[in-house]
Chains A and B, each alone.
Chain A
């Protein structure tokens, strides 16, 4: 994605998100995703993680001048939440980056592990192995002065990058994040939000739960290509938008990638898409970890936002009438 186009996203989103105060949980409430997931680097991709690294960006308004914290829920790999593969032997490394290049570096956005995805200034890092202290508990990074982030006003302010890497081992780490103003509790940073270009998470085990992600369609987007990994053919992925009443997205099988292309019409511009992930009602696929990302017609990665910009999109039903033949 060119910097110019990406800036457009951020500019627009900043305008809208500036009125939102509760965009800091990752996964967000509207996403209804139980946990993010990152496997240890020795794991198998067939367990639902293609490269064992997850990158999340946080945007803090330029006007916000109080310290901020990034909290991780259940950062260790062990205990009742995480996915055990043999012995608990996984080390998970969390690194917070700010400063120049933290977000503007394309390798970071693309999760290009061969490139400079660890760009910017390393502000904090911590590795976790199995540790009951952090099982079902929060760990807090920070405080950070917002100005420690990469100042990109066109991105909405100061950008921090959190990189979660499965440094070793093969267990699955399931966790949540929260950008907060307090070190010991979750207090949203007003006007802040999170975004991510490649999303790795676990689907619910309850077949009646529906998860969502919300990419935003600017007026330049005329087509998107979604790619997903290791979906295990678990139900349906569909798009709800002002003009799409459930357009089906191709879902992958076990340990493979698949993709599908979808036209974006004018009616979807300046609106989010609601990509719904509906689990298969029979034959529960338990503990299903998946990866998904989106590209526009230029092959540029498109961010998902922790809240749907402009609200959750709804299909615009219309009643047609014609004389009966």
Chain B
């Protein structure tokens, strides 16, 4: 794959209409000031209070590096993050030892001493005569020494030379490297691979499963310290061409969770960086015409007095509730429940098929007089779902046992048109989305809270309790 092919995913500048709606749920999204007009800025990543990103902005007025489509090559830039969350002046990040051409996104080790970057494999210059020759992308590691980066080493040198490897993301423990490649693809689509640390090198890349990779393009993996893998795809269901998702990548039964609006829009939204606490981050989007970087911040969900999710019960016992109490009355009670069913008895148990309006009618047969008294009493029963955010979980699960949570608002008329559901798993982990997959890592008793913000700005939250036992105990 040529650099053009990978980058083309980002360079799509279309006339996507941008929704006039304001962002729901108070998720704040705003472009950062390092964006430039008519150039692309994308692939944000933060290391040591510095925002790194790539851009195809011009860096040299005298020399112009173009790809085979006469487009400016992408280079890495950096800009300091200020204490007030604003960003300082962006400058080219170009360690002297780094490969010469096209630079892609970066990833850093947790201690900040190692960096893996994306560059073209070949440092050779090309002319217009041989411009059709491919120069695939490759991953390079570099070590930090002092204030500089040195010892650039290409990774996976034993892999097919014609394939590209790009957009690395190193796990917090440094043992796994996620990246994108067009390897094993015949149609130019890209997939996310993982490679495990083996001594000083990396194991054979393994393509992640179909719960993540699709026939479309998967791009920009970002492995969060929570274990969630954030990524970009145009192959999963979502509002735009490219959307940002996250998933518990180790759970093969999990489904990607779409990041909420306005992070995702009908435009192309891609390449995210998520803070450790998942309360803020950066991503790129072409919603304003060209690719720009945006900062988002999640509202602080304050959940006061969460209500326990209750099972809606449509099963009732009916009885004659008049003032006279006797167990030996010579009557037969005939119950008509208004749903096409009848029953006999002083008391009658009945389960209704679901919410609705039911007209219950009681007739009485006087066995002493052998006569039936029709409709001696009636009861109009209106069954509704309990107003709540309904979700189901097992009472007890094992550690690492996948669970799926699906938020279903019941009878909550004052929801926003596009509600966002916030999940707190009680173990320090949070998630956003209507349908969430999750695995507990530690045993214990937890309270899962699902919250959402109503149209009037208030927050409602509902919980269920779950017990997590050791998988070995079973």
Contacts and interface: CB of A to CB of B under 8 A. Distances in A.
Nearest to B351: A324
Contact of A267 (B323, B330, B369, B376): B323
Interface stretch (A69-77, A91-99, A182-190, A311-319): A311-319
A210 B349 CA distance: 34
A320 B318 contact: yes
A296 interface: no
Nearest to B319: A320
A210 B369 contact: yes
Contacts of B350: 324
A267 to B, nearest CB: 6
A322 interface: yes
A271 to B, nearest CB: 13
Contacts of B364: 317
Given A265-B323, A278-B368, A323 B315 contact: yes
Contacts of A247: 324, 326
Contacts of A322: 316-317, 319
A324 B320 CA distance: 15
Contacts of B351: 324
B322 A245 contact: yes
Interface string A234-255: 0010100011111100000000
B233 to A, nearest CB: 46
A319 B318 contact: yes
Given A245-B329, A246-B329, A246-B331, A321 B316 contact: yes
B317 A317 contact: no
A243 B323 contact: yes
A243 B322 contact: yes
A320 B324 contact: no
A129 to B, nearest CB: 40
A325 B369 CA distance: 34
A242 B322 CA distance: 9
Contact of B330 (A242, A243, A244, A246): A246
A281 to B, nearest CB: 9
B1 interface: no
Nearest to B321: A320
A318 B319 CA distance: 8
Contacts of B318: 319-321
A318 B320 contact: yes
Contacts of A315: 322, 324, 376
B365 to A, nearest CB: 13
Find the residue from A210, A246, A278 having the highest chain B CB count within 10 A: A246
A324 B349 contact: yes
Contacts of B369: 210, 278
Interface in B306-346: 313, 315-324, 326, 329-331
A317 B376 contact: yes
Nearest to A265: B323
Contacts of A317: 320, 322, 362, 364, 376-377
Chain A, interface size category, equals 20 to 34
A247 B331 CA distance: 12
Contacts of B324: 243-247, 315
A180 B376 CA distance: 38
B332 to A, nearest CB: 13
Nearest to B377: A317
B220 to A, nearest CB: 51
Contact of A318 (B315, B330, B377): B377
A324 B317 contact: yes
Given A278-B369, A323-B315, A316 B322 contact: yes
A325 B315 CA distance: 8
Interface in B437-469: none
Contacts of A238: 368
Interface in B293-315: 313, 315
Contacts of B379: 319, 321
Nearest to A242: B323
Interface string A294-320: 000000000000000000000111111
A120 B204 CA distance: 125
A318 B331 contact: no
Interface string B399-426: 0000000000000000000000000000
A209 to B, nearest CB: 10
B109 to A, nearest CB: 58
Interface in B353-399: 360, 362, 364, 368-370, 376-379, 381
A316 B317 contact: no
A142 B114 CA distance: 128
Contact of B326 (A245, A319, A321, A323): A245
B378 A319 contact: yes
A318 B381 contact: no
Interface string A194-221: 0000000000000010100000000000
Nearest to B379: A319
A278 B366 CA distance: 12
Nearest to B330: A246
Nearest to B375: A317
Interface string A251-276: 00000000000000101000000000
A316 B376 CA distance: 8
A319 B377 contact: yes
Contacts of B362: 317, 319
B330 A319 contact: no
Interface string A276-296: 001000000000000000000
Nearest to B318: A321
A296 to B, nearest CB: 20
B360 A324 contact: no
Given A243-B324, A265-B323, A319 B368 contact: no
Contacts of B349: 324
6 contacts: A243-B323, A265-B323, A278-B369, A317-B362, A319-B378, A321-B360
Q: Which 4 A-B pairs have the closest CB atoms?
A: A320-B321, A317-B377, A324-B315, A317-B376
Given A319-B319, A324-B316, 20 more contacts: A208-B370, A242-B323, A245-B326, A245-B331, A246-B329, A247-B324, A315-B376, A317-B362, A317-B364, A317-B376, A318-B322, A319-B377, A319-B378, A320-B320, A320-B321, A321-B318, A321-B319, A322-B317, A323-B316, A324-B313
Interface of B: 313, 315-324, 326, 329-331, 349-351, 360, 362, 364, 368-370, 376-379, 381
